[in-house]
Amino acid sequence: MEHEIDQIIDRHGAKPTALMAILQDVQQAHGYLSEDALRRIAYRVGIEVPQIYGVATYYRSLRLKPPGRHSIVACMGTACHVRNSPRVLDALKQELGVEPGETTSDGLFSLDSVNCLGACALGPVVVVDGRYYARMTPLKARRLVQEYRQRVGKEAQK
Amino acid sequence: MTDATPTLPQVLQELRTAGMDSLRPTRPRIAVGTATCGLASGAADVLAALRDGVASRGLDALVTETGCIGYCQVEPIVDVLVPGYHRVLYSTMTPAKAEALLNSLAQGRIPAEDALCQIPMEGARRAGTNGSIPLLADVPFFASQVKTVTANCGFINPTSIEEYAAVGGFSALWKVLSQMSPEDVIEAVKASGLRGRGGAGFPTGRKWESCRRAESPDGIRYLICNADEGDPGAYMDRGLLEGSPYSVLEGMIIGAYAIGASQGYVYIRHEYPLARRLLENAIARAREVGLLGEDILGTGFSFDIEVSQGGGAFVCGESTALVASIEGRIGEPRDKQHLRTVQSGLFGRPTVLNNVETWANVPLIISNGPQWFASMGTRTSTGTKVFSLVGQVKNTGLIEVPMGMTLRQIIYELGGGPPDGKRLKAVQTGGPSGGCIPESLMDLPVDFDALSKAGSMMGSGGMIVMDEDTCMVDVAKYFMAFLMEESCGKCIPCREGVKRMHQILTDIAEGRASQQSLSLLEELAEVVQDASLCGLGKTAPNPVLSTIRHFRSEYEQHILDRRCPAGVCRALLRYSIDADLCKGCGACVDACPTGAISGELREAHSITQDLCIKCGSCFDVCPAKAVVRA
């Protein structure tokens, strides 16, 4: 793992200005930022561990815990809000049994909310594994989760 | 271009020729809008169907991709250009409709089915017969728009530097490098009256001049493009970056020449993965052909651009926080009184920071002249502005109009008003720093100054339309929740003040407030406004103050009558079933997530209040409108 992290650091250069890019790429590769990863990056970039912890916890796109197999993100922008996104999020919370920022106990889904994805004309928007779903309703949101659950179930049977 | 411009360098001429080959080919050109809105509406499937269909039919046609023309509501949009005819746009496409389109094209016919409109092309004929396909200018959504900065979005392929060159791209850059001094460029931008499109509206030319004149210890100056478009409900910059990224780059290179910078940065938000990919591709292509890097176009001028990705923090759109974030530090704002970015910005050097749309306007000002730009808009707000027209309005999408158009024109003429015959209540502008403008003020012109007087601001261009189903207390509460989360926590007035405002608003929304709550809320708002460190905190109370100012009676109904007239604030609602209207179809039983509804089939149903979580699912699905919300 350390080797992989070093490769990412070398690609961006071991300098503080590349910190965000390094953190993002390491997260992309591992799904999250582990303590070991943060320590290694801090050492290579030449900053203190508390400083990197500060940066990693400041930005909401960085996560310090492993994500679920599927990532569900609900947009909470203003345009989505006036078209009922809070109820869409409620439906997702209820269907998954977790709060935003958490992962389901079976490790299948992580739920997050985001303050605006910039797809405002099509709100409310929900993104699953990078795929955008437009004009969501609470009912459609529940069905979306059920669909993914079934898909996972089928994959397991194979 | 003026006669005095020396002939285009060969590299630009070659790009242009290559671009014309794919932009105006001798065979039909079929371009699918695959920006984020298009993809969210199924554009990838349509693109695949078109590619497969062209191959299986052996059709001689070019299938390509383009950005978004702005009418996001009717995506996926397919743009068809048959040689000799105007461009025809097909809307809300599906793979099946794509098949039908190809069948017609294979027969040499430009079908009118599913056609939204046609866009006139020079020296070409009208498509369709007897006006079966309306012109762009006859479609209400497009009729009053003046597309300049977005002119190429939804036409050219955003990955193709050749197509950008073919629509006149880089001729402004060449004009600047071959015959203008940096001072000439600054004068031109000043004369155009261009003001920062990110929201603050600072005169761009003056900013550049201050930066050029500012002292730098080692002569280094930086330039930054702010693509951290954080205002919720606004996505103009995403539209530009996904539709015409090279125009942003061209503006930046011109700006770098004007201020004397050799390194630039684009700070792009993490929520825009596609825009980032397209931007990175554009930078790489520009480097390959010698439009970025050392000795650009053989003029001796050198400049390069790096992309820096944000981490999902709203406050990083603020200049000092943005600079800190690029430097690899925590993106917290600093006190600006003693520290102006133009004098001491990135790495302590003079820095110019402008947003995406501002940069994209620069090549147009150079090519068409400052007078052309200043002739559009109002006296103090020149040019056009891109807005995202979204929310409770029929036609949603990105629009570009001259500054000074009234809110009413935008919402009704372009947007078609609220859907389902609902009553317009307000429009929210300026993001969390702005406010809600009531229906009674819809005749205000939209520019940098007029909306501020109504307690809001034009901001970066988000325009969220709200109808009678929107609760203003809930909107104020929404923005306080947003800002509570996004406050960096450095200064107390913002960190604690916003939290308290949110708490009071929650009390109001849940029926626990008294008359004093309102005056306390106003008092708090003033303190946060006066005492916060950065723009986020100083403007944080605006959504609260503007809603109290224009919708005080709605607040009072919540407080005194414990009633939410818009039917949004959940704690004040109660759902029940009208036994006379209920047909007993059972749709609500299936929709209810908590099993709170019971009743025999074809008999009137009822809701067990203890189990009801007031999610409104039954209200949404009831075909007989028998569910009552009160």
- Which pLDDT tens digit goes with each residue over B260-298? 999 999 999 989 999 999 999 999 999 999 999 999 999
> Can you name the residues that pair with B265 across neighbouring β-strands?
B224, B306
Task: Tell me the residue type at A72.
Answer: I
pLDDT tens-digit profile of A16-70? 888 888 999 999 999 999 999 999 999 999 999 999 999 999 888 899 989 999 9
pLDDT of residue B4: 52
- Using a CB-CB cut-off of 8 Å, the residues of chain A touching B231 are 116
Residues of chain B with pLDDT under 50: 1-3
Q: Does A92 touch chain B (CB under 8 A)?
A: no
Q: Does A117 touch chain B (CB under 8 A)?
A: yes
Residues A130 and A76 in one domain: yes
Residues A111 and A74 in one domain: yes
Residues A26 and A93 in one domain: no
- Using a CB-CB cut-off of 8 Å, the residues of chain B touching A61 are 270-271, 310-312
On whether residue A77 sits in a domain, the answer given is yes
Q: Final residue of a domain: which of A11, A27, A58?
A: A58
Task: Tell me the residue type at B29.
Answer: R
Domain of A126? 70-157
Residue of A23, A59, A122 with shortest CB distance to B37: A122
On whether residue A105 sits in a domain, the answer given is yes
On whether residue A125 sits in a domain, the answer given is yes
Q: Rounded to the nearest 5 degrees, what angle is found at the Cα of B312, between the Cα atoms of B306 and B316?
A: 65
Structure tokens at A149: 């659950």
Domains of chain B: 10-143 (3.40.30.10), 161-373 (3.40.50.11540), 384-467 (3.10.20.600), 472-560 (1.20.1440.230), 574-629 (3.30.70.20)
B229/B316 Cα distance (integer angstroms): 10
pLDDT tens-digit profile of B147-198? 999 999 999 999 999 999 999 999 999 999 999 999 999 999 999 999 999 9
Give counts: helices (H), strands (E), chain B: 24, 18
Residues A120 and A78 in one domain: yes
Instruction: Write the ipTM.
Output: 0.90
Residues A42 and A87 in one domain: no
Rg (CA), chain A: 18
Question: What pTM did the predictor assign?
Answer: 0.93
CB contact under 8 A, A20 and B39: no
On whether residue A81 sits in a domain, the answer given is yes
Cβ contacts below 8 Å, chain A against chain B, sum to 168
Q: Does A94 touch chain B (CB under 8 A)?
A: yes
Residues A14 and A80 in one domain: no
Domain tally, chain A: 2
How many Å lie between the alpha carbon of B232 and the closest alpha carbon of chain A?
5
Instruction: Identify whether B76 is preceded by a cis peptide bond (ω within 30 of 0).
Output: yes
Query: Which residue of chain B comes nearest to A87, CA vs CA?
Result: B615
How many Å lie between the alpha carbon of A87 and the closest alpha carbon of chain B?
6
- Using a CB-CB cut-off of 8 Å, the residues of chain B touching A85 are none
On whether residue A64 sits in a domain, the answer given is no
* Region A126-147 average pLDDT: 93
CATH code at position A133: 3.40.30.10
CB contact under 8 A, A121 and B230: no
* Region A135-148 average pLDDT: 93
pLDDT of residue B2: 45
How many Å lie between the alpha carbon of B27 and the closest alpha carbon of chain A?
33
Residues A14 and A41 in one domain: yes
Residues A50 and A124 in one domain: no
How many Å lie between the alpha carbon of A60 and the closest alpha carbon of chain B?
5
Residues A53 and A84 in one domain: no
On whether residue A104 sits in a domain, the answer given is yes
Residues A49 and A76 in one domain: no
- Using a CB-CB cut-off of 8 Å, the residues of chain B touching A129 are none
How many Å lie between the alpha carbon of A58 and the closest alpha carbon of chain B?
7
CB contact under 8 A, B328 and A15: yes
* Element holding B528 (H helix, E strand): helix B515-531
Of the candidates B389, B393, B390, the one whose C-alpha atom is nearest the C-alpha of residue B467 is B393
Task: Tell me the residue type at B571.
Answer: A
CB contact under 8 A, A134 and B41: yes
On whether residue A46 sits in a domain, the answer given is yes
* Region A83-103 average pLDDT: 94
Q: Rounded to the nearest 5 degrees, what angle is found at the Cα of B465, between the Cα atoms of B233 and B234?
A: 15
On whether residue A33 sits in a domain, the answer given is yes
Residues 6+ apart with CB under 8 A from B130: none
Residue of B233, B331, B488 with shortest CB distance to A120: B233
Residue of B36, B238, B314 with shortest CB distance to A115: B314
Residue of A21, A132, A142 with shortest CB distance to B36: A132
- Using a CB-CB cut-off of 8 Å, the residues of chain B touching A21 are 308-309
Residues A146 and A82 in one domain: yes
pLDDT of residue B199: 86
Residues A81 and A39 in one domain: no
